[in-house]
Amino acid sequence: MRYEKIISPSLGSSKGRIPEPHEAVHLDRLGTACFKSFSATHTGSGNRIWTGTGGDGERLFLKQLLGRPAEERLLSAMAFEEYVSQLGDIDIAPRHLGSDAENSALLFEALPDVHDGRALADASEFWESHAHAAGLLTRRLHSLEGAGATLPTQPAAPVALALREVFEGVPEQIYTDASGAEVESWRVVQRDHALAGAITELFASSRPVPRVPTHGALRLEHMLFREQSVHFTDWTEFGLADPARDIARSVSEFLLRAVRKTRVCGEDDSTGASIERVLRELEYLRPLVVAFWRAYLGGRVDPDLIHRSVAHSGVYLLESVLFGVEGRELLHRADRAALTLGRVLVITPSAFANKIGLESVE
């Protein structure tokens, strides 16, 4: 039997040769017998992706989840596919063609001629029209009907849990294994009771909000654009949550881009100066946030949603440093700026809503 020789994903390394699709997954379970041609790659999160054409010339995008609890992410992605299949043809994501749960693999139609939002932004070609389309699709997602009780619920953001741990004392082993930059970032937040209190309050204020279907990882690279149309991809963190979480995730992408630009100039500080610098850099990107936000709101007014979205985007900035500096020796100026800005967004969201583009539309 050919498939008895399948390489177990848990044994697969994220480096080295990538097996051929048929060596790694049960292609017949995925609804395709073969790949006529393909190219393979490891992604940023260590997954395997094969793109190519099937036997009948169909375009295929095969992804095998590896590493960080693949089962959980697969369940979320499959919950999404099941959910949308009940809703009919809603054209919100690439068409799902099949799954091989045993090997944590998902097969999709590969969308032709798409550019993901990260590539567009890197090339300075992410326009307001893209932001507008993404805002509209987010709104459509959040207003999808029939969110059944079977949908997974988004866990609290990991930063909230990590902060609790940092406050209560990091376990010795984790401390010993931590890099210089990690320890330094913990030191910045550790005695910050105002921040810890504001995060607790933020999650408490999110709790009673009616939960909606959320993408969970609405980063620019998960927005696939073709001309004026957009699809969202990578639904491995799909689940019911406060809509502010998705808004915050995409807004924080622009904030992080502005933060990164502060790397090259100015003195290193943890005061208002670094916030001002980030906001100056954000000037160029703010119209994109505004376009996304206006399209999302579609004329509605929701001050509570604004505040929660600003504060949650602060949480994402904190998360990007607390979880992004693993293995690094030093905390950079941009990391400190992200921590400083993240903190004030969480603690005083109303003072920053307009500045970051989440304006109140009257």
Ligand X SMILES: Nc1ncnc2c1ncn2[C@@H]1O[C@H](COP(=O)(O)OP(=O)(O)OP(=O)(O)O)[C@@H](O)[C@H]1O
- Give contact residues for Mg ion (rule: CB under 5 A): 234
Pick the closer one to ligand X by CB: 48 or 245.
48
Pick the closer one to ligand X by CB: 155 or 266.
155
Q: Which stretch binds ligand X (CB under 6 A): 11-19, 109-117, 262-270, 294-302?
A: 109-117
- State in angstroms the smallest separation of the CB of 81 from Mg ion: 16
- Of Mg ion, ligand X, none, which one sits near residue 314, judging by CB under 5 to 8 A according to partner kind? none
Per CB under 6 A, 110 contacts ligand X = yes
Q: Which of 9, 21, 47, 211 is close enough to bind ligand X by CB under 6 A?
A: 47
Write a three-state SS string for 47-93. Answer: CEEEEEEECCCCEEEEEECCCCCHHHHHHHHHHHHHHHHHHCCCCCC
SS3 assignment, position 326:
coil
SS3 assignment, position 115:
strand
Pick the closer one to ligand X by CB: 218 or 353.
218
Amino acid identity, position 185: S
- State in angstroms the smallest separation of the CB of 92 from Mg ion: 16
Question: Using CA atoms, how far apart are residues 247 and 43, in angstroms rounded to an integer?
Answer: 24
Pick the closer one to ligand X by CB: 93 or 337.
93
Pick the closer one to ligand X by CB: 108 or 292.
108
Residues in binding contact with ligand X, number by CB under 6 A: 17
- State in angstroms the smallest separation of the CB of 192 from Mg ion: 31
Q: Which of 75, 111, 147, 156 is close enough to bind ligand X by CB under 6 A?
A: 111
Closest CA to 210 of 147, 137, 140, 155: 147
**Strand residue runs (E) in 84-195:** 96-100, 105-109, 115-116
- State in angstroms the smallest separation of the CB of 234 from Mg ion: 4
Per CB under 6 A, 53 contacts ligand X = no
The number of angstroms, rounded, from the C-alpha of 87 to the middle of its chain's C-alpha atoms is 24
- Of ligand X, Mg ion, none, which one sits near residue 114, judging by CB under 5 to 8 A according to partner kind? ligand X
Per CB under 6 A, 108 contacts ligand X = yes
- Contact assessment for residue 103 and residue 243, using Cβ atoms and an 8 Å cutoff: no
Question: Using CA atoms, how far apart are residues 349 and 346, in angstroms rounded to an integer?
Answer: 6
Site for ligand X in 219-278 (CB under 6 A): 221-222, 224, 233-234
Torsion sign (Cα): 331, 333, 337, 338 = negative
- Of Mg ion, ligand X, none, which one sits near residue 178, judging by CB under 5 to 8 A according to partner kind? none
Structure tokens at 98: 């099949």
Other CB atoms closer than 10 Å to residue 171's CB: what's the count?
A: 10
- Please tell me what DSSP assigns to residue 13: -
Element (H, E) at 139: helix 128-142
Pick the closer one to ligand X by CB: 44 or 88.
44
Per CB under 6 A, 94 contacts ligand X = yes
Per CB under 6 A, 170 contacts ligand X = no
Beta-carbon contacts of 66 under 8 Å, excluding residues fewer than 6 positions away, are 9, 12, 14, 46, 47, 48, 104
- Of Mg ion, ligand X, none, which one sits near residue 110, judging by CB under 5 to 8 A according to partner kind? ligand X
Q: Which stretch binds ligand X (CB under 6 A): 39-47, 269-277, 311-319, 352-360?
A: 39-47
Per CB under 6 A, 116 contacts ligand X = yes
The residues of the shown chain that bind ligand X, judged by CB under 6 A, are 43-45, 47, 61, 63, 94, 108, 110-111, 114, 116, 221-222, 224, 233-234
